[in-house]
Each structure stands twice: as C-alpha cells, then as structure tokens.
Structure 1
Amino acid sequence: MNTDSKNLSNAASKEDNDEIDLMALLFAILRGWKVIVFFAVLGLVIGILYSKYVNPTFKSDALIQIEEDSKGVAALGADISELIGSEVSKAQAEAELIRSRMILEPVVNLLHLRIRLSDPNIGALDRIKSNSTDTQINKPEGVSLKTEDGEAKISQFNVSQEYLNQSFTLTRSATGFVLTNGFDDFKGQIGKAHLFKGTDGQIQIKVDVLPADGYSVNITKQSLQTTTDQINSALSVVEKGKQTDIIQLSMTGANQQQTSLILKQIVLSYIDQNQSRGSEETTKTISFMETQIPTLKKKLEDSEAVFNDFRKKYGTIDVGKEAELLLTENSQIDAQLNELKLKKADLTTYYTEEHPLVVQINEQLAVLNARKNEIDDTIAGLPEIQREFLQLSADTTINREIYLTLLKNYEQLKIVKAGQIGFARIIDLPISTYKAIAPKKLQIMILAMLLGAMLGTMLVLLKNLLKNVVKDPERLESKTGVPVIATIPRSPLLSRLSKNKKSAKRMLAHVDHNSLSYEAIKSLRTSLMFAMPTDSSTKQQGKVILITGESPGVGKSFIAANLSEVFAQLNKKVLVIDADMRLGELHEMFGMTQYDGLADYLSQGTGRQDTGRIATTNAQTVSSEANDHIETASKYPSTDITAVIHPTTMDHIDFMPRGKHPHNPASLLVSEHLGQMMDELKTQYDYIIIDSPPVLAVSDAMVLAQHADKVLMVTRYDDSIEGQLVYAINQMNKSNIQVDGIILNDVQQGIMSKYSYHYSYAYGNKQ
C-alpha cells in the first residue's frame, strides 16, 4: 500500500470513528427516552400552569404626526408669519419628550396612578384556577378594585414623603374602616375625607367603598418616579418607518380598558404641551402690542387735537403744488420710518443690535432719514404758517396710520392664537380591541415542553458521561486488551419470568431453548473448545473454566449454569462448582440446597491437615489460628469428595454447592487441599466450571484462577461501569493472572443500540 492509500484509509477510519461517536450519542439519547419524555411532560405541565397563572396582557396603539411648520399663521399672510417665525421638530426628539415627566405627570395626577390597590387574599392556586385576576381601574373619580367580597374604591390618598412606597392594609369595620401599616392604626368613616397624623407624617384619605367586614385590601402610595418608571416600562414610543415624522405609541397592560385610557391621556397631555409651545411666540407678541396700543392711541389723539386747533385759528390754507408733493413724499417717508421702527422694536425683543435683520433695518432708516432731512430743508423755505400746517397734518396722518396698523395686527394675532394647533396632530387615538397579546399559551406550552425535553436530554447525556457504562465490545477490547469472546443477548421470556421473585431461577434450555441467548451460549462453548490449551501428555485431563465478574449482579452464575448445560449436550462430563462461599446462589439454578458443598469439604480437609501439623509441634507454640482449624475439624467429620458432589436432573452434569458459610473463606481457598481436590476432579470430568465471587469484592477469584485453564470475566451490558471492569482486569494482571476473555451479558437488541449487530442469529424452529 502506498502513502496516498494509507492517508485515504486513515481519513476514512477517522471519519468512521466520528460517525460512530455521533451515533453513540444519538443512541444514548434514545435509550434515555423515558427520562426525556418525563421532563418534557413536566415542562408541559409547568407551561400550562404558568399560562394560567399569568394575567392576560392587552395592547393599545396610537399615532401622532409631527409637522415641520405650523400652517395657521401663514394662512393669515406673509407679514404675520414673518413676525411669528417657524418651528422645526424631529420625531426622535418628540418621542423622548413624550416619555418625560412633563408629559406623564399630568396623566398620573389625573388618573391617580400613584395609588396602588391589591388583594392579598388571592394566592397562586386561586390565580391558576381563575386564569386571570381582577386588576385596579384608575379613573379621574378615583381608584377601584373588584374582590370576591365586593368592590374597594378610593378617591383620595395622599401621604407624607416617609410613607411613600409603603404598604398599608385597609379593612372595613363596623363603624367605618381601619387603615394600618403594622405600627399605627387609623380609624375613619367611609365616604368622608380624613387627615391622620402618624409617627412619620400625615395621611390624607377618602374611602368611598370597601368589601365586606374583615376583608382586607392593600393600598400603597407610590412616588412619582416609581410610577413614571412603571409607565415607561409598559410604554413604547418609536418613529414608524424612517423619516416619516409619524410617532407610534404602544402600551401594554393587564386591563384593556385601563391601558387604552392611560395611553389616550398621554397623547392628549402631549398635544396640550405641544400647542402651548406653538402659541408661546404669538402670546408674547400680543402682550407687547397690548402695551403699545394705548400709547399710540393717546399720541394720535394729541396730534389731531393740535391740528384742529391750528385750523380753527388760521383757517384753511392752500398748499402749492410743490409743497403738496413734498408733503406727500415726506408723509410716505414717515410712514416707512414708523413701520421700520415698529419692526425693529419687535425684533429687538428677540435679537440684539448686531443681528443681520436689525442691521438691515438700521440701514434703511438711515437712508429714509437722509431723504427726510432733505425734504425738511426744502419745506423750511415755505412761509411759517404753511410749514406749520404741513407739519401738523403730517403728524396726524402718521400717527393714525401707525395706530391702525398696530390695531389690525393685534386683531389678526388674536385670531391666530385662537386657531393655533401646534406642529403635532393626532392621527389615531387608542381603541380597545379586548384581544390579549400574551400569554401565548400554545407557544408557552411548546417552549416549556421543548425546554423540559432539552433538560432531560442534558441529564441523560450527563448521566451517560459520568456513568460510562459498558456498551461497546470494541471499546472494551481497546481499553482492557482482552477480547470479547461472546455477547449474550437478553432473553425476553426469561426476563419476564425472573420478575416474579417467588418463582425459581430457570435455565435457558428449559424455558427458551430457541432464543438468541441460547445460541450465543452455544457459540461461547464452541469458542472455548477450540481455544482450550492442549497438552499431549495429558490430553484426557479435564479443562477448568473460571467464570467471575467485576461486581455482583453481572450474571456470572447464569453463564456458568447454562454453559455447563451446553457442554453436557456433547456427552461431556461436566462439574459445576459454586465457589462463592459467601453469597453463592448457583444451587437455585439446579433446584438444590447449598449444604454439603465446597466449604464443608475444604473445612474438614484443612482441619485434618492442621491437626496433624499441630500434633508434631510443641503445645506451647499452638497458635490461635490452629485452634480455629481444630475447632473447624471437630465440626466437620472426615468427608470423601463424593459426598459434596451431587448429580443434577440433567445428564452428564454434577454440581458442588457452596456449602455452609464459613468464617474464613479466603483461608480455605489458599490451602493445599484445594489444589489436591482440583487435581482429583480433573481426572473425573471433562470440563470443570467454577463460579467465583466478584474480583472487586474479594480476592477469591485470584486464588481460584491459579487452578484454571481459562479465566472469563462476565460484565453486564448497559449496567456495569467500564472503569470498574478495567480496574478488575488490571488487578488480575497484577497478580500474574491472564483474563482470557470477556463475556458481555444481557445485551439488549433494538434500534436504540448501535451494537445490535453483535447478536447471534437463531437458525431453526422458533415455535
């Protein structure tokens, strides 16, 4: 194989490993479907309860248009609009203005929004049962709240600064009501305003209606900042689109009617403030004119009186053509001068002398004054009476024109002020749709169910990660270096029978001989037959198979019993030894008792040997251990090995039970008598199968392994801990014991396990 081929092979292998890991993750999730479904259902229940617990939320909308210029003044003429000027507003700035206390405070005061009523008698279960609870209603007349025992209505509640945001309890009594904060009790009559003096300040309250006697209601006076913050949290003010100058106001709340009312008042409060700002300049101009009109009127009356007196004194005078022209021109100049002075007086109320408009008017005044001086010099040459006549006539005409012009503008501005609407107008006022926007029950339930399923999945994966149970044969082989020589599927029929604790344990040959499990045991037998070591000098000597496990409950007794049965089918003489002298239960598989077994034989043999040894030693050196063995020997009389071997109901199978439980099982196994017994048994049987205690529990398996030809480690699929199995095999290796194979027991077949291909397949009649 060349280098490129190797690289391709490695890449394919790596991709396959990645796929296997993903598949393992998927199947781990599928195997924990019960946990995932449980948490999904739990999440669904929580979502349903939450959707019933939370009050419905309603929404109201309004639209306001921000115009660039006010059209009211321009409609009356260019002259007036020049006096007033223009106002430009941006939607973003106005949106922030709407959220300010300047706009919200009038609404808060009008609707008594700082007064908060709540029903302390409503608990969480009540809210779930009723789906929604009544909320307070704020109107200009007062605040009301419906309860189970009647309505509570408060029209006035003012407290000192120290009592703000402090909860009071309001309860109806036989004579009226009782208001308490836990320290002070205030008693009053319903329908009357009261002023109470407490330890921290004054309380002013008027209670109109209360529920039945003994039913309490909580009442709180919030600070203005707290109330406006709550309004702003439920209020949305944004420009609709880009550069549209249309502001959309939205407000949410638990009561549709209440929400629409509050939003409507906010819109009206903003419009009132906007109109006040738009008419501010007009108001200032009218005020200025009102101060000037009486003065100009008096000046006109004085000039007319002087002119009339002059005419009475000198009679009518004909002015020449030149004088008439000069007078006309002079009069026009004076009118222009007066108009410019009026404009300058108006402008100087807003601008300084350096403003371009004021400078321009000053230049025009200078030109007109120069021409007027020139005309005055010409008129000076006229006769004194004629000149005086012209002067008085011009003064009267000018004063009349100034007065009439100012009076006309004054009346026009009054009309403007009366019809001024500002630069903001209402497009849509809020309406009540009574259609809840939240909670969206279906979405909440689906989301809660998904979150529950995700939590269940995380727990399944976490459990799988922490526990790391035995599942993959290839993984076991790579971690332990020991081959998995058999995978024994679970027998559904035997599993159902074993659920009945009172029923006796049975073998596969008796209850499920056509199952995959039974075929897997046969495959194990075949494997062991060909893998057994062969010595030419002792071909006929029996083969010893030791079956152990890393921990209790892995099914080693099940494997030992059924393996002996399939060996017996070959007309091989088989002996099954229950070497778990502490908790062995193999006798139940064969329907026998535990007595007269291995412990009995080893105890009497060890006692006999110790008695002989102690007799040859000095009595003063007898140890306590020897005394124990002497005592044991006295309990168990001399027994032949045939006395502890019992035939079973199955042909070719004999059984040696565990015997009576001794107090020193490990010491019995270490004795030389065990080796002598095994040598004798090998000459009598073709196969000897030893069921030993778990490796991690006691050291018995390591002692028994010294006499075995094959050492097999049984582990349970999806139950045994992988780390424990690896540790058990390492412990055996440290004692110079080679584990020849691993038997993966109780493998479950199905789509949830990617290792179902390790099953054997039955071939034959399944009836």
Structure 2
Amino acid sequence: MTLLKQTHSAEQADDDEIDLSEVFNVLREGWQQIAIIAVCVLLLGTTYAFLAAPVYRADAIIQVDDDSGTGSINDKLGDLASLFQNKATADAEIELIRSRMVVGETVSGLHLDVRAKPHYFPLIGAVIARRASGADDAGPVKPVLGLASYAWGGERISVSQFEVPTVLHEKTFKLHALDAERYELTDPDGSVVLRARVGEAASGAVAEGPVRLTVASLVARPGTRFDLKRHSTQQTVEELQKKLDIAEKTKQSGIIGVKLDGEDAQRITATINMIASLYVQRNVDRKSAQAQQMLTFLGDQLPKLRADLDQSEARYNAFRAKTGAIDLDAQGKLLLQAVVDTKSRLTELQQQRAELVQRYTTSHPAVAAIDARIAELDHQQVQYESQVSGLPQTQQEALRLMRDVKVNTDLYMKLLDSTQQLRVLKAGQLGNVRTVDFAIVPEKPVRPKKLIVIPLAAALGLLLGCVIALGRRMLNRGLESPAEIEHAVEVPVYAIISHSDKQLTLEQSVRRNPSKPGVLAAAFPDDVAVEGLRSLRTALQFGVLKPENNIVMITGPRPGVGKSFVSVNLATVLASTGKRILLIDADMRRGDVHSYFSINSKPGFAEVLTGREPAEVIHRQVLPNLDVLMAGTTPDRPSELLLRERFTTVLKSLAATYDMVIVDSPPVLAVTDPVLIGKAAGATLMVVRHGRHSAAELRETTRHLASAGVAVDGVLLTDVPQRGAAYGAYSDYRKKGD
C-alpha cells in the first residue's frame, strides 16, 4: 500500500495532461449525441435562413465642406462672407444628422410612430405572403385554405394619421377591410371604434379618450385584417437614433455615410432620404438665419447713420456760411484723411464686435482680436486729436466738421454696401453640406445570407455537439487511472482490462445468430482485453491474491460496469489452464451470463436454492473444463433465498467439487445480495468501469460491503481505452511478435 501512495502523485500528474487521443475517443463515443445536436442546430439555422423576415439596408452619402456657398460669392464678399464660415467637423455633423431636430421631424413627416401591417397566419403566413407578392401594383392573392381574415400576399395599407390616448400606445388595434373603400377599426378588446372610408379623416372614441384615424390607401380583400399600433413619438425617435449607422467614410474626408436596416425596403429608403434632405435644408436655414440676423442689425443701424450724416452736413454748411470757405494746407489735409480713416475703421470694428457678441461670448478669440484692434485705433485717434489741437482755432473747427461729414458719409455708404452684399449672400446661400447619393430602394436583403447561415449553423452545431460531449465528460468524469482508484478505496487494482472492439463485433454476431456463443476469451484468445484477465489469473494462481477458499465473488457498484463480461472470460481463461471451473450466475434478478453461451437461463441457481439438486441444472463442459450454473427463474425475494442455510451448504459442496468457483453477483449499491454472497466467498473482486465512477461511489461500495464484514480484496478496471492512457501504451506488444 505504501508503494501505491508513493506512485500516486506521479501518475496523477500524467493523467492531468491533455491527451488528444482521449479527446478523440470521447468524441467517437458521443458521435450520436454530436450528430443529433449538429442536425438540430442545422435545422434551426436552415429554418431561420428561409423563414426569417429579410432585412434590407438603405444608405445615403453626404459631403461636408469647410466653406459654404460658392467660391465666386466668397471672393466678392470677402471678410463679410467669412463671418458665416465655420469649420465643420465630421463628428459634429454626425451628431446633427442624428439630432432630434432632424430625426424627430422625419418621424413626424413619415408617420414612423404609426405601425400598420397585414395580419399574417402564425409562423408561415409572412413567408407565404413574401413569396406570393408580385409587383407593387399587383392585387392581393387568394386566401389559403379559405382563411380570408389573414393576409396572404399583395395587401397594402398606408396610414397618414392615427391618434389614440397615451395609455393605449403600444396596444394593437385591428382594422378590417369591409370592401375596397371602407374599413372598420376595433380596439384591443374587440369593440368597434369607428367605420370610415379610405382617404377621409375619421374619429371615434374609446373609454380612455378620442381616437382619430386617416387611412390614405388600402389594398385588401374584404375581411382581411390589419394590425395598427401607435408608438410613443419620443421612443420612436430614440429607437431610430439608435438604429442609424452614421460614420465618416474615410478619416477627415468630409464624406459621411448614413445607413439604416429594416424589413420594409420602401420605408427605410424614404426615412434615409428624408433625413438627408432635412439635414441639408437645416444647414442652409442655419446659414440663412445668420445672414438674416446681420441684415436685421444693419437695418437698425442705417437710419441712425443717415441721421448722423444729415446732422454733420448741416453743421458744416452752417459753419461755412458763417466763416466762408476755408482751405486746409497740405498738412491739414493729410491729418484730416488720417483722422477719417481711423474713425471709419474704428466704427467698422465696433459694428463687427456687436455682431460677434450676439453669437459668441466676450472671451471668444475672435472677439478678443477685435478688442485688441479697437484699443490700438483708440490710441491712434488720441494722437491725431492732439495734433489737431495744435492748429489755429478756425482750422480746428473746420477740420472737426469736415471729419464728421466724411466719416459719416463713408460709414453710411459702407453699411449700405454691406447690406446689399448680405442680401446677395443670403440669396446665394447653399450651405456647406450636400447630398452626394440619395438612397435607392434595395432589391436584395443584407440578411439572412443563406449561403453563410446554413454552413455556419452546421459548423456551430458540430462545435456545440463536441463542446457538450467534452463538457459532460469533464463534469461527469469518473476515476480513470489505477492510482486514482487505489487512492480512493485503498485497494489494489489487480487487472486492467482494455476496451475491445472485437467484443462489440462478437456481440453483433450473437444478435444476428443467437445460437452462436459469444465468449471473447474463447473466440479471440489473443485479444488485449483477455490479456488483462490473464494477469488476474496469475494473481489467483500464484498467491498474489490469497483467498480464504476457492470461491471468488465478482461484483460492482452498479449495473453496466462489465462484471458479467469479466466473470465469463475470467472463468474461461482459468479453465484453459486445465483446472475445473464452475461459473455461477447469482444475479437472480437480471442475470446475463446465459447470453454469452446461448443457453437458456432456466432452471438454475434459484431452483437449486429452493431444493433442486445442482447436478440436475448445471450445464457441463460449455467450454473445456468449464461448467456453468445459470441464474434460473427470478424468485419473489431473492435475498431471502440467500439467507437460508442451503445457500451456504450448496456453495461449500460445489467448492469441494471444483478447483475454483466464480460467482457473478448483482451490483452492491442496487441490492443486498452481494453482502450475503460475499460472506461465503474467499475473495471479493470489484469491477470498476473506466471513467464511470466517482471516488465517493467506490468508497460507498466498499463501506457497504465492509459494514457486513465483507472486504474488497481487489479491483478490476474495465473498458480502458487502448490508446491515450499510459497503462495502455503496450497493448500492441503481443502483435509484434517480440
């Protein structure tokens, strides 16, 4: 036992490594489950590809320029046009396209908050309708199976107004076509709300409030039903904003793409085009509003400047009439021109500043730059005024009056010219954005793509099946290595019995021909699984396993571990050495030993326990040196038969007659029979199937036997993969003849 504990850690580390061949074995064992999952996913994918509503995509392209208007206008207007030239960024324009100003007006203009559609037969009705619908002007098709209330293709409806109380938003109203021109509307409870004609504004009432409806057009058979639903305008706007895919085509290109996906190709095309048109128009409106704002400002200034001009001229004329004409010398003329230019420029800058502060704060760089120029001109003006004060008094007065006339004249003419330029700018204002490509009605859907969905579904199905198979194996993974088993129950593993493909072939052969024996050790004595049983035979014959008597019980934790296979083939390999062996099928409930020898299971062990002589029911020489006692007729309470004294007497008598008695008992955790049989056996061997048992299950099995005084002497590990386990790496040794 010490040696087992010393080697456990090393073997456990080897078992923790991922073995690709073991993964392959898991997938091979679960191929049916994988195939079922793959087929199911493939069917789901195919169903989606053919039944899902096609989704179309409409797209438009918008160009954003840095400068507005045309080049010729800008060249002529110069600085005045630059007041309206704001450098546009793609991110800012994208947000404007997605704004409620644009999207909200689109929702209202196209009535996107009203959803009206034909009522189709569940699941397949919409598919049939899509396939049956022809051209847009085609009429509705005939109903299928006489179901006239459903739409089957060709039905159309256009609703230009549908107003309901807010509490009824998202509720489905039903519209029934009465004939080509008349219809009836019912509320969600089925009560008639109104009857009206196509094209007229109709109104009705429900308990929650008034209902107004205008059906612009209707194409349907009499009796066809349509579903009407009024959505919240705000929610519709928000949903459309989320659905819009807006992005700059290339970084800093100014080319913006606008996309929208939807099931109604006409509807999404109209939506995209209206968004593009509204965005461009709002851009032009914004530019025009700026020009109009400045025109209004200049219009307010012109009358004041005209009055100032008239007053200055009157004062100058009065001065001349009083003093006569005064001629300025050359220095005076130059000084007058400098004063006039400075005053004119100062007034222009003050007007520009007044316009800018209506659009920007006083801390804006443009306003700050003008303030700096104004301060500079103010300083120059002070200097010129000091020079004027050095002239004679008469010339000073004449110079001031002439200055006022000239300054006011220049300002008035410039302002008048600016007003005319602004009118030209406003009339020729095109904005700095334009629609390069409007959306066109898409002919082919963007999804589902059948050639992609179906192969992808098949691949995902296979992948999902493999993942589930491997996941189940990992979650339900039992003990696999001898070290794990020995560590769990502290009992040595005496035999490792590999998985045998020949056993599967033999079982299929027996099913086809029940009269043919199916013992692997007899049919294929060189099979690797039989070699594992020979190692157990060695342990029994040479004292490694020291039974108290010649009775060996073979049992297991639960059904399906291979205990009958082990019992039959162990008995066969023992008999092949010339010893007389008796095999007893003590599983009187579900005994299966008889199937290996193609012998009737009745009479058998049950009849012996009820009084019949063993010699009468034992099958002699089923194989050389091997006799078999079948299970017999299933009794009402098999455990009670094992409690009788006859059981012990018969078993001892048979043990005295044979060199060894192999008893195939029921599973330990299923019934109490193994506990009773084990008391009479000299050795108890527990069959454990590779990867099928937890440590707790094996410990519970040994504890259950130990509670009755039956100790497990050894473990037989069955169904071990021939590849992928360290202890199965030499399974081909015998085939190589070395």
Assess same fold via TM > 0.5: yes
Which residue of structure 1 lines up, in the alignment, with residue 541 of structure 2?
Answer: 530
Q: Output the amino acid matched with 1:530.
A: Q
Which residue of structure 2 lines up, in the alignment, with residue 154 of structure 1?
Answer: 159
Pairing 1:487–2:460 present: no
Which residue of structure 1 lines up, in the alignment, with residue 202 of structure 2?
Answer: 194
Q: Output the amino acid matched with 2:581.
A: V
- 1:312-711 equivalences in 2 (<5 Å): 337=343, 341=347, 344=350, 347-348=353-354, 355-356=371-372, 359=375, 377-378=393-394, 404-426=413-435, 429-430=438-439, 434=443, 436-468=445-477, 472-473=481-482, 475-480=484-489, 481-485=491-495, 487=497, 489=500, 491-499=503-511, 503=514, 506-508=517-519, 512-513=523-524, 516=527, 519-520=530-531, 523=534, 526-527=537-538, 530-531=541-542, 543-584=550-591, 586=593, 598-600=605-607, 602-604=609-611, 642-643=615-616, 645=618, 647-648=620-621, 652-658=625-631, 665-666=638-639, 668-670=641-643, 673-711=646-684
**Using a 3 Å threshold, how does the CA distance of structure 1 residues 706 and 324 change in structure 2: closer, same or farther?**
closer
Cα offset, 1:190, TM superposition? 1.6
Q: Output the amino acid matched with 1:704.
A: I
**Using a 3 Å threshold, how does the CA distance of structure 1 residues 597 and 307 change in structure 2: closer, same or farther?**
closer
Q: Output the amino acid matched with 2:201.
A: A
Cα offset, 1:546, TM superposition? 3.0
Cα offset, 1:108, TM superposition? 2.9
Q: Aligned partners of 2:392, 2:259: CA distance in 1, in Å?
A: 71
**Using a 3 Å threshold, how does the CA distance of structure 1 residues 133 and 531 change in structure 2: closer, same or farther?**
farther
Bigger mean CA deviation after superposition, 575-584 or 323-332:
323-332
**Aligned with residue 179 of structure 1, among 185, 202, 213:** 185
Deviations 1:327-356 (A, max 9, x none): 997699668756755664564465599955
SS at match of 2:120: coil
- 1:113-192 equivalences in 2 (<5 Å): 113-121=112-120, 123-127=122-126, 148-158=153-163, 164-174=169-179, 176-182=182-188, 183=191, 185-192=193-200
Q: Output the amino acid matched with 2:582.
A: L
Q: Aligned partners of 1:319, 1:263: CA distance in 2, in Å?
A: 73
Return the index of the structure with the highest Cα Rg. 1
Which residue of structure 2 lines up, in the alignment, with residue 268 of structure 1?
Answer: 277
Cα offset, 1:208, TM superposition? 2.7
- How many residue pairs get aligned? The number is 699
- 1:41-60 equivalences in 2 (<5 Å): 41-52=39-50, 53-60=52-59
SS at match of 1:191: coil
- 1:729-748 equivalences in 2 (<5 Å): 729-745=702-718, 747=719
Q: Aligned partners of 1:545, 1:367: CA distance in 2, in Å?
A: 130
Q: Aligned partners of 1:547, 1:394: CA distance in 2, in Å?
A: 130
Which residue of structure 2 lines up, in the alignment, with residue 622 of structure 1?
Answer: none
**Using a 3 Å threshold, how does the CA distance of structure 1 residues 430 and 367 change in structure 2: closer, same or farther?**
farther
Deviations 1:420-451 (A, max 9, x none): 33444555555566454433444444554444
**Using a 3 Å threshold, how does the CA distance of structure 1 residues 374 and 427 change in structure 2: closer, same or farther?**
farther
Which residue of structure 2 lines up, in the alignment, with residue 76 of structure 1?
Answer: 76
Q: Does the 8 A contact of 1:516 with 1:761 survive in 2?
A: no
Q: Output the amino acid matched with 1:418.
A: A
Q: Aligned partners of 1:706, 1:675: CA distance in 2, in Å?
A: 9
Q: Aligned partners of 2:165, 2:549: CA distance in 1, in Å?
A: 103
Deviations 1:513-555 (A, max 9, x none): 56627854872684256235899xxxxx994333333334545
**Using a 3 Å threshold, how does the CA distance of structure 1 residues 521 and 504 change in structure 2: closer, same or farther?**
farther
- 1:240-279 equivalences in 2 (<5 Å): 240=249, 242=251, 246-256=255-265, 258-279=267-288
**Using a 3 Å threshold, how does the CA distance of structure 1 residues 740 and 271 change in structure 2: closer, same or farther?**
same
Cα offset, 1:496, TM superposition? 0.7
Deviations 1:6-49 (A, max 9, x none): x9x99986763332667645533442232223222322222222
Q: Aligned partners of 1:158, 1:668: CA distance in 2, in Å?
A: 86
Q: Aligned partners of 2:503, 2:333: CA distance in 1, in Å?
A: 133
Q: Aligned partners of 2:380, 2:532: CA distance in 1, in Å?
A: 123
Q: Does the 8 A contact of 2:173 with 2:186 survive in 1?
A: yes
Q: Does the 8 A contact of 1:520 with 1:760 survive in 2?
A: no
Q: Does the 8 A contact of 2:63 with 2:255 survive in 1?
A: yes
Q: Which runs of 5+ in 1 are unaligned?
A: 1-6, 138-145, 382-386, 536-540, 605-638
**Using a 3 Å threshold, how does the CA distance of structure 1 residues 751 and 363 change in structure 2: closer, same or farther?**
same
Deviations 1:340-395 (A, max 9, x none): 556645644655999555555655666666677777832599xxxxx9xx999999
Q: Does the 8 A contact of 2:479 with 2:694 survive in 1?
A: yes
Deviations 1:45-93 (A, max 9, x none): 22222233142231414133241677676512556458x4753444333
Deviations 1:180-199 (A, max 9, x none): 32355111112223344554
**Using a 3 Å threshold, how does the CA distance of structure 1 residues 551 and 90 change in structure 2: closer, same or farther?**
closer
Q: Output the amino acid matched with 2:57.
A: F
Which residue of structure 1 lines up, in the alignment, with residue 110 of structure 2?
Answer: 111
Q: Aligned partners of 2:118, 2:415: CA distance in 1, in Å?
A: 65
Which residue of structure 1 lines up, in the alignment, with residue 701 of structure 2?
Answer: 728
Q: Aligned partners of 2:449, 2:246: CA distance in 1, in Å?
A: 24
Which residue of structure 2 lines up, in the alignment, with residue 33 of structure 1?
Answer: 31
SS at match of 1:19: coil
SS at match of 2:448: coil
Q: Output the amino acid matched with 1:731.
A: H
Q: Aligned partners of 1:668, 1:14: CA distance in 2, in Å?
A: 44
Q: Does the 8 A contact of 2:588 with 2:632 survive in 1?
A: yes
Q: Aligned partners of 1:289, 1:232: CA distance in 2, in Å?
A: 40
Cα offset, 1:290, TM superposition? 3.8
Cα offset, 1:703, TM superposition? 3.8
Which residue of structure 1 lines up, in the alignment, with residue 147 of structure 2?
Answer: none
Q: Does the 8 A contact of 2:12 with 2:483 survive in 1?
A: no
Q: RMSD of the TM alignment (CA)?
A: 5.2
Q: Aligned partners of 2:411, 2:171: CA distance in 1, in Å?
A: 65
Q: Does the 8 A contact of 1:491 with 1:512 survive in 2?
A: no
Q: Aligned partners of 2:258, 2:564: CA distance in 1, in Å?
A: 78
Q: Output the amino acid matched with 1:56.
A: V
Q: Aligned partners of 2:717, 2:435: CA distance in 1, in Å?
A: 80
Q: Output the amino acid matched with 2:428.
A: G
SS at match of 1:268: helix
Q: Does the 8 A contact of 2:581 with 2:659 survive in 1?
A: yes
